Amino acid sequence: MERNRRERRTCLAMLLGTAACVPARPPRELELRFGVERDYGPFVFRDADGAVKGLSVDILRALLPAAHLRLRWSEPRPLAELLQLAEAGQIELLSSLRPTPERDSYLDFTAPYVVVPAVVALRSGKGDGQLWRLAGRRVAVGRGYAIEAFVRRHYPHIEWQAYSDDGLSLQALMSGQVEALVADLASVEHARRRLRLQPGALQLVADLGYSYPLSFGYAKGRADIGERLEQALDALPHTQLRAILARWLPEGGLDQVAVQPEREQLRGVGLASLAAAGAGALWTWHLRRGAA
């Protein structure tokens, strides 16, 4: 990184002169309070044994040594509660967040480390997944999730049912309490596996013009946190990142997401452009594999 290059140049100059060259000390380790989302699999969740796992957790753990960070893990909670704690200054770091104007008032964000498309999920054979056809019907969405504000604004005639996590939304779908649900591709697949649904039980349609560029959110104004995370993300080998993603995304789904090579491009893309980027990607994906 630029700072390291400056330090090497300074050290070289000192070697050519009379001054002694003293290697730069690594930055002091910084301890942060990390907010653990209770059930946002496969990104971050608590499993049946109480262990915190997930795609974002694996990436964060891979970054800690290079970022010189140490974490104090919160009690797992729903996202809405974690956001309240972050706004109150009781949490300095969150993962798996899509930046929104509301969150921007109390959080800053890294560039995204993964971008996942949003989907409409239905029981197989129960419709074509076009949300405009579901006016007046019940559709599930994650309470406090970024997509909730989007769908409520763009599809106000749907009777939106907010659930604390996507697993509960999928249970409501399969029991007939709702006609459909909206969530991201990876979360729906994770919930499907946990519920041990049969192959072909779901039909997923991505036609929302909406995607999840997931970032780390950190306390507003704490540029020191952001710089450490950004440098560690830039240094994370692409092969290591893809290996992490492959552990958590549905088989055959890795090519549906954008990963590290797009980071520089994503820095300059506004939220509206990110939403519009997925508008032309109309596709239907039937689950072909058995429950894991």
How does the average pLDDT of the chain come out, rounded? 80
Q: Is residue 25 part of a domain?
A: no
How far apart (Å, rounded) are the C-alpha atoms in residues 208 and 231?
Answer: 33
Higher pLDDT, 161 or 207: 161
Query: Higher pLDDT residue, 201 or 290?
Result: 201
Whether 194 and 72 share a structural domain: no
209/150 Cα distance (integer angstroms): 10
Query: Are residues 141 and 109 located together in one domain of the fold?
Result: no
- The pLDDT assigned to 58 comes to 97
The per-residue pLDDT for range 18-27, each reduced to its tens digit, is 445 555 566 7
Report the distance separating Cα 254 and Cα 246, nearest Å. 7
Q: What is the CATH number of the domain that holds 147?
A: 3.40.190.10
Question: How open is the CA angle 222-225-228, to the nearest 5 degrees?
Answer: 145
Is it the case that residue 265 has pLDDT exceeding 50? no
CA angle 117, 122, 124 (to 5 degrees): 120
Residue 37 and residue 155 in one domain: no
Angle separating helix axes 185-195 and 166-174, nearest 10 degrees: 60
Q: What is the pLDDT of residues 63-81, one digit of tens each?
A: 999 999 999 999 999 999 9
pLDDT tens digits, 93-113: 999 998 889 999 999 999 999
> Is there a domain that residue 277 lies in?
no
5 has pLDDT over 50: no
Paired with 97 in beta bridges are 215
> Which one of 122-136, 164-178, 205-219 scores highest in mean pLDDT?
164-178
Q: Two tokens at 163?
A: 């659930």
- The answer to whether the bond into 42 is cis (omega within 30° of 0) is yes
**CB-based contacts of 232, cutoff 8 Å, min separation 6:** 63, 64, 66, 67
More confident residue, 5 or 205: 205
Q: Does residue 130 belong to any structural domain of this protein? A: yes
Count of other CB atoms within 10 angstroms of residue 205? 19
32 and 72 in contact (C-beta within 8 Å)? Answer: yes
Q: Is 186 found in the same domain as 52?
A: no
- pLDDT at position 250 is 66
Give the integer Cα–Cα distance in Å for 178 and 134. 11
Q: Are residues 149 and 229 in the same domain?
A: no
Domain that holds residue 228: 10-16+30-113+214-271
Task: Examine the domain organization and report whether 77 and 202 are in the same domain.
Answer: no
My answer on whether 243 and 195 are in the same domain is no
Whether 48 and 106 map to the same domain: the answer is yes
Q: Is the domain of 157 the same as that of 134?
A: yes
Q: Which of 33-47, 142-156, 205-219, 228-242 has the lowest mean pLDDT?
A: 205-219
- Stronger pLDDT, 220 or 239, i.e. the higher one: 220
How far is CA 239 from its chain centroid?
A: 19
The number of folded domains in the chain is 2
Q: Are 141 and 165 in contact (CB under 8 A)?
A: no
Residues 50-61 as b or e (16 or more Cβ within 10 Å = b):
eebbbbbbbbbe
Per the model's pLDDT, the better-predicted residue between 227 and 7 turns out to be 227
Q: Is 204 exposed, middle or buried (0-12, 13-18, 19+ CB in 10 A)?
A: buried
Q: What is the mean pLDDT of residues 162-169?
A: 92
Which of 210, 239, 261 is a domain's end point? 210
